[in-house]
Amino acid sequence: MRDAGVHPGAWWLWALGLGTAATRTTNPLLLGLLLAVSAYVVTTCRPDAPWSRSYSAFLKLALAVLVVRLVFAVVLGSPVPGAHVIATLPEVPLPHWAQGIRLGGRVTAEGLLFAFYDGLKLAALLVCVGAANALASPTRLLKSLPGALYEMGVAVVVALTFAPNLVADVQRLRAARRLRGRPDRGVRGLLQVGLPVLEGALERSVALAAAMDARGYGRTADVPAGIRRTTAALTLGGLLGVCAGTYGLLTAEGEVYGLPVLLAGLAAALTGLWLGGRRTPRTRYRPDRWNGRACLVAASGAGVAALLTLAASADPAALHPGVVPLTAPVLPLWPAAAVLVGLLPAFVAPREPDAPEEPS
């Protein structure tokens, strides 16, 4: 089943493609379609693993973002002029220096709708990241990192698991508060378990570090000093080159040398990384292979992004329905068809067989 799986990088490209597409439009119908597509693919293709449950967490987060955006629009007002007043909140008079900020006041339908479109765009982007998380664990993606960056990547992943562990600890300790006869809900309860939770998390991190070290994490191969110095010089020089090149591209005078310096810097940095990889003796166990399926999955995501970008420049009005005056959004046919391309993985990616039910 492992060989048949799709390369995690392909999933991330697909999800990022969908996310890019989401930033190209504010049409709620298109965004809704995009969300439906990602949800369908996630439910058909996700493996039965703890990380695949993160999709629902991302959905909740996206909903929260949407709500916060709407609340801000209500409380702080909206720059969009509007004629349809829904309600008028008492306006808080602010001092002179806070000019341009408004608290309370008129709430218009146009303002709310604009905030809703805007929030929905952000929410769709978040859900796409969630889809990537659910379909391919970040740890699996890590396996495809170049050798020199691997150890840094492990540190990042360990740091990422810190949060879920913390949440589990908080739940356990709040339950334990009940055993002490203290209320297990409320903010005070949360504060009182704070210190023990942090202590526990720290202890676990140290234990994990010890376990990793004892299993050979961070072993280095002997590399001649010359190569070591060359690596350092190439990496540092390359990064400097990248900085200088970017600066050159952005300023008016640097147009001549900008691009060549950037490219040279990039090449030097990459060579440095490749040389640095020789210091770590790591090998990979059953690396994920980039096969035809992965190409299709990645291409479908990229396709959606490209088509919607095209559509956004060809017919901006359809992808950005106006709010002043209020109009009902219509579903533009061609962009909608383009979004459906994102469904491709649901048909090409193999489904994970259900894990046999085994008592654990």
Partner 1 sequence: MIRFEKVSVTYEGAAGPAVRGVDLEIPEGELVLLVGPSGVGKSTVLGAVGGLVPHFTGGTLSGRVTVAGRDTRTHKPRELADVVGTVGQDPLSHFVTDTVEDELAYGMESLGLPPEVMRRRVEETLDLLGLAGLRGRPLAGLSGGQQQRVAIGSVLTPHPRVLVLDEPTSALDPAAAEEVLAVIQRLVHDLGTTVLMAEHRLERVVQYADRVALLPGPGAAVVVGTPAEVMAVSPVYPPVVGLGRLAGWSPLPLTVRDARRRAGRLRECLDGRDGNRSGRGTPAAAPSSASLPTALSSPSPPLPASAAPRRAGRRPLFRRGSGPAAPPLPAAAAQVAEVRGLAVRRGRVQALRRVDLTVGPGETVALMGRNGAGKSTLLGSLVGLVQPSSGSVRIGGAVPHRTPPRELVRRVGLVPQEPRDLLYADTVAAECAAADRDAEAARGTCRALVGELLPGVVDGTHPRDLSEGQRLALALAVVLTARPPLILLDEPTRGLDYAAKSRLIAHLRALAADGHAIVLATHDVELAAELAHRVVLLAEGEVIADGPTAEVVVSSPSFAPQVTKVLAPQRWLTVAQVKEALR
* Span near partner 1 by CB under 8 A; candidates 9-17, 70-78, 215-223, 242-250: 215-223
Count of residues near partner 1 by CB under 8 A = 55
Which residue, 48 or 315, is less far from partner 1 as judged by CB?
A: 48
Residues in the chain: 360
Of 131, 134, 157, the residue nearest 144 (C-alpha): 157
Of positions 23, 65, 184, 343, contacts partner 1 by CB under 8 A: 184
Range 219-278, binding partner 1 (CB under 8 A): 219, 221
* Cβ pair 217, 154 in contact under 8 A: yes
Helix, strand or coil, per DSSP, at residue 106: strand
DSSP H helices, the chain, are 8-23, 28-45, 54-76, 109-135, 138-142, 147-179, 187-214, 225-250, 255-277, 292-314, 316-319, 333-340, 344-348
**Least distance in angstroms from the C-beta of 80 to partner 1:** 45
| Euclidean distance between CA atoms 15 and 54, whole angstroms | 15
Q: Does 156 bind partner 1 (CB under 8 A)?
A: no
**Phi, psi (rounded to 5 degrees) for 88:** -120, 115
Which residue, 211 or 331, is less far from partner 1 as judged by CB?
A: 211
Q: Does 279 bind partner 1 (CB under 8 A)?
A: no
* Span near partner 1 by CB under 8 A; candidates 78-86, 110-118, 199-207, 329-337: 199-207
Which residue, 81 or 287, is less far from partner 1 as judged by CB?
A: 287
Q: Build a one-symbol-per-residue string for 285-314: x at contacts with partner 1 by CB under 8 A, - elsewhere.
A: xxx---------------------------
**Angle at CA of residue 316, ends 313 and 317, nearest 5°:** 160
Of positions 86, 206, 267, 330, contacts partner 1 by CB under 8 A: 206
**Least distance in angstroms from the C-beta of 107 to partner 1:** 41
**Least distance in angstroms from the C-beta of 179 to partner 1:** 5
Of positions 180, 225, 292, 325, contacts partner 1 by CB under 8 A: 180
The string over 50-77, giving b where at least 16 C-beta atoms fall within 10 Å of a residue's C-beta and e elsewhere, is ebbebbeebbebbeebbeebbeebbeeb
* Cβ pair 300, 342 in contact under 8 A: yes
Distances (CA, A) of 294 to 34, 50, 253, 287: 20, 23, 43, 14
Q: Does 139 bind partner 1 (CB under 8 A)?
A: yes
Q: Which residues bind partner 1 (CB under 8 A)?
A: 1-2, 49-51, 137, 139, 154, 158, 172-173, 175-184, 192-193, 195-196, 199, 204, 206-219, 221, 280-287, 355-356, 358-360
